[in-house]
Amino acid sequence: ISETERTAENLETLLLDAQEELKATKRQRIRDMARHPEQEAILEETYDELEHDLIQRINGLQNQLQMAADKRNTIIQVNRAAKTAMEVFDDLLSKEHLDRKDLQLIIEKIKVYEDHLEIRLKADIDCLLRCGELPHEEDFVAAMARQGGNVNFPDGTGDISTITIVQSAKMRPDKVFRANVISNGDPLEIYTSRDGEVIFKKYSLMGGLDDFAAQLCETMSRSTGAICAVTDRDSVIAVAGGAKRELLGKGITAQLEQVMENRRIYQYDGQGPQIPVSDSSDRLMAIVAAPILSEGDLLGLVLFISDSPTAAGDAEYKLAQTVAAFLGRHMEN
């Protein structure tokens, strides 16, 4: 808008100059005609051409000014529309219950099967849900604690990727559905059954490394005496040193996903809130979390875990960093 306004100011200056020049030309024409009446025909022709050129120039400047004004108005209208859309979306997130119109705004398709549902969000809504980032870690941890690990939905809303819906009816037993949300851009594995069903499962590059990751966790645990784990982008795939039943196969928390997205090693210093490893356990906290990167892609985390507020040492930090780098290189090869 500022650039458009500067352009309009320059055009207005040029337009005023052209209009003054046209007035001056008309005055000069009258003076020359009075001084040289014998050359009236030549002077008329000459000044007609000069005035015609100036009028054309003035018309062109006026058209450019109108275009600049239209561009400015268009920019303002687009910004207002975008602001309105964001306000509508913010209202949706803060609502306690969504009605049919609300759901039509955010959901592309719902497929109902005998034992589960598949909900596909609209692509732009899915991107909006993934792009939010809080400025301070303390604010992030506090928001996650208030909202049960999901900052995008109201209090009491669980992880939307593993939600369970119970359908109750009179004279019939309750029917339980598992609802899986497939987000835009999620890598999927596709299976088919003998009955012709098509099954979608999130694909994990780390999925084939369960045994190898378990051996690395055993080695790290024996070296440090701590609980060690390796995750993919969604869940824990290997654990050693204890708490295997509580962690293995369980989904990681949104705080750990944020650590992964930040692409920096997290180290607990013994102060402030800790990051839980899984929503299924309140006592197990990550004291070191090193993202696994392969050719720029995020694959998972290498974790050192504690059941007490213990600060992480340099040995755990360096070991997690080394193992994460090793796994990343291994996946490249």
Q: What is the rounded CA–CA span in Å between residue 276 and residue 274? A: 6
Q: What is the rounded CA–CA span in Å between residue 18 and residue 6? A: 19
C-beta separation of 251 from 231 below 8 A? no
Which pTM value belongs to this model?
0.43
Degrees to nearest 5, angle at CA 25 with 20 and 26:
100
At residue 300, what is the residue type?
A: G
pLDDT at 80: 62
Q: What is the rounded CA–CA span in Å between residue 284 and residue 131? A: 28
Q: Is 114 helix (H, G, I), strand (E, B) or coil?
A: coil
Distances (CA, A) of 89 to 83, 127, 146, 282: 10, 13, 21, 32
Per domain, the residue ranges of the chain are 2-94, 102-131+157-203, 207-332
Phi, psi (rounded to 5 degrees) for 319: -65, -45
Q: What is the rounded CA–CA span in Å between residue 264 and residue 45? A: 78
Q: What is the rounded CA–CA span in Å between residue 83 and residue 94? A: 17
Phi, psi (rounded to 5 degrees) for 253: -80, 165
What percent of the chain stands above pLDDT 90? 8
Q: Which is nearest to 277 in space by CA: 285, 289, 269?
A: 285
- Round to the nearest angstrom and report the end-to-end CA distance of the chain: 51
Q: What is the rounded CA–CA span in Å between residue 143 and residue 52? A: 69
Q: What is the rounded CA–CA span in Å between residue 307 and residue 286? A: 9
pLDDT at 230: 92
CATH no., domain 207-332: 3.30.450.40
Q: Which is nearest to 163 in space by CA: 106, 118, 123, 204?
A: 118
Residues (pLDDT < 50) of the chain are 131-138, 140-141, 143-160
pLDDT at 133: 43
At residue 270, what is the residue type?
A: G
Q: Is 240 helix (H, G, I), strand (E, B) or coil?
A: strand
pLDDT at 165: 66
